[in-house]
């Protein structure tokens, strides 16, 4: 079954939407949503939670964003009581020319309230979930949530992941491998274009470090990023470390830097705008993503660095992290939590100009060839088409569906 000839209507469901929310999932949701608008002419609505009790509707990058009132949050997951009703309202949505229900609902998991709301609303529409990662740390929540999540995964038509590694390593997805499809994340490369202004700023940043090598980290300062491992590893690396991001572990990391004697070579910066971040990717010699838990599902910052021609040292987690950064091709991967191996990999890259240039060039070529927004959109459209066909076949196989089909033929 093909997708409709008219503009495709897609409803996204996630916890939050960027801006103002920063995070890997929010970045993917926005990139995919705007990519569907730009490259497929789709009409996309995003149902997400607001940070307050107010309802807000706005258009961002051609995407209609509906921020529903939030009543509370459980383990950082917002609860918007109006989400089940909003999903039902999507089926009754009308436009100037008549009914305009979505052709596909694309959910993003894990989001416990989103999955529960979908099960409660039970919309009779082709459905896809982009499964970003397993729940790793909130074990008590997961035990209570798992039966609903399993029911949800069985209910949706198809499951999308960013790499085959996640399907193999997840105890929830491996038994459902038949309905899993891999669509690697794409990067809006224009954000990292080496414009004259970006290159001038990159030169200024390098000059400020007086010719010393620069190791860059970009991300939230949270436990699963493993930044503490990187700070300790830097004791054996002759370079400066720049950390871009904020998070609950910042004070602890500052104390660790002072205690370990690396504070003089460490710079803490808050989140940067696109131009400044692009300049840092071009200024850095190496990006390091030292993540230690499966909560790190892909590591978008890796392909951002690759697009700028900067190689990466990351960890060989059983997720999409080593899929995004291929060992010996676009950088190096080391065991999670291994300070000595991390220091050795960083020192090897920083000490070999030819190797660093070669891996950086290979990384850039792969990012611009394979990990692009148009490729992500094309892969997603293929999944939507298959989900639509599966949904129709499943509906026709039910008694209610067979009766409806007979009435249509009559």
Can you give the residue ranges of every domain in the chain? Answer: 9-186+373-409, 189-361
E-strand ranges in 199-294 read 214-218, 240-244, 266-269, 286-289
Can you give the pLDDT at residue 378?
Answer: 97
Is the Cβ–Cβ distance between 221 and 195 less than 8 Å? Answer: no
Please give the average per-residue pLDDT across 195-222, as a whole number: 96
Average pLDDT, the chain: 92
Interatomic CA distance for residues 267 and 64, integer angstroms: 38
Q: Please give the class, per CATH, of domain 189-361.
A: alpha beta
Q: How confident is the model at residue 193 (pLDDT cuts 50, 70, 90)?
A: confident
* Bridge-based pairing state of the strands 56-60 and 312-315: unpaired
As given in the structure block, the two tokens for residue 296 are 């790190």
* Distance linking the first and last C-alpha atoms of the chain: 21
- 313-326 pLDDT, tens digit each: 999 999 999 999 99
Q: How far is CA 333 from the centre of its chain?
A: 20
Q: Categorize the per-residue pLDDT at 137 as very low, low, confident or very high, splitting at 50, 70 and 90.
A: low
Helix spans in 243-320 (H): 250-260, 274-283, 300-307
Say whether 189-361 and 9-186+373-409 share the same fold. Answer: yes
Q: Please check whether residue 14 is in contact with residue 31, taking contact to mean a CB–CB distance below 8 angstroms.
A: no
Q: What is the pLDDT of residue 284?
A: 98
Contacts of 332 (CB under 8 A, 6+ apart): 311, 312, 313, 314, 345, 348, 349
> Over 90: is that where the pLDDT of 188 sits?
no
What is the reported pLDDT for 404?
A: 47
Count the neighbouring beta carbons within 10 Å of the beta carbon of residue 251: 9
Task: Please give the pLDDT value at position 332.
Answer: 98
pLDDT at 138: 64
What is the per-residue pLDDT for 1? 62
CATH for the 9-186+373-409 domain, from 1.10.443.10, 3.40.50.2000, 3.30.2010.10, 3.30.2270.10: 3.40.50.2000
Tokens of 5: 């000839």
pLDDT at 395: 84
Model confidence at 389: pLDDT above 90: yes
- Counting beta carbons within 10 angstroms of the beta carbon of residue 403, is it exposed (0 to 12), middle (13 to 18) or buried (19 or more)? exposed
Q: Give SS3 for 314.
A: strand
Q: Alpha-carbon distance 110 to 131, whole Å?
A: 7
H helices then E strands: how many in the chain?
Answer: 15, 18
């Amino acid at each position: 079954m093909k997708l409709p000839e008219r503009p495709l209507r897609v409803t996204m469901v996630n916890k939050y939407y960027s801006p103002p929310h920063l995070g890997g999932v929010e970045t993917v949701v926005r990139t995919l949503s705007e990519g569907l608008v730009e490259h497929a002419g789709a009409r996309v609505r995003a149902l997400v939670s607001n940070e307050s009790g107010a309802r807000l509707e706005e258009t961002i990058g051609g995407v209609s964003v509906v921020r529903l009132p939030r009543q509370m949050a459980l383990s950082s997951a917002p609860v918007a009581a109006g989400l089940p009703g909003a999903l039902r309202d999507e089926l009754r949505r009308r436009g100037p020319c008549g009914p305009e229900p979505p052709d596909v609902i694309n959910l993003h998991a894990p989001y416990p309230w989103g999955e529960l709301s979908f099960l409660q609303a039970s919309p009779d529409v082709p459905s896809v979930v982009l499964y970003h990662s397993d729940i790793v740390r909130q074990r008590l929540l997961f035990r209570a949530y798992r039966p609903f999540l399993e029911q949800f995964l069985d209910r949706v038509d198809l499951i999308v992941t960013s790499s085959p590694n996640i399907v193999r390593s997840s105890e929830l997805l491996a038994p459902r491998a038949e309905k899993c499809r891999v669509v690697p994340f794409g990067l809006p490369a224009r954000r990292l274009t080496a414009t004259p202004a970006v290159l001038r700023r990159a030169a200024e940043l390098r000059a400020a470090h007086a010719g010393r090598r620069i190791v860059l980290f970009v991300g939230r300062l949270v436990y699963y990023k493993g930044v503490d491992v990187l700070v300790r590893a830097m004791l054996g690396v002759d370079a400066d470390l720049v950390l871009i991001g904020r998070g609950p572990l910042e004070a602890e990391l500052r104390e660790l830097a002072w205690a370990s004697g690396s504070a003089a070579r460490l710079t803490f910066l808050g989140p940067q705008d696109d131009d400044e971040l692009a300049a840092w990717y071009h200024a850095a010699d190496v990006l390091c993503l030292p993540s230690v838990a499966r909560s790190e599902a892909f590591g978008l910052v890796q392909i951002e660095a690759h697009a700028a021609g900067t190689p990466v040292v990351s960890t060989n987690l059983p997720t999409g992290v080593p899929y995004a950064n291929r060992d010996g091709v676009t950088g190096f991967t080391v065991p999670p939590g291994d300070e000595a191996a991390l220091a050795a990999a960083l020192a090897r890259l920083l000490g070999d100009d030819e190797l660093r240039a070669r891996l950086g060039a290979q990384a850039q070529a792969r990012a611009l060839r394979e990990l692009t927004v148009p490729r992500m959109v094309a892969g997603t459209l293929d999944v939507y088409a298959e989900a639509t066909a599966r949904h129709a076949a499943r509906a026709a196989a039910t008694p209610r569906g067979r009766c409806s089909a007979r009435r249509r033929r009559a």
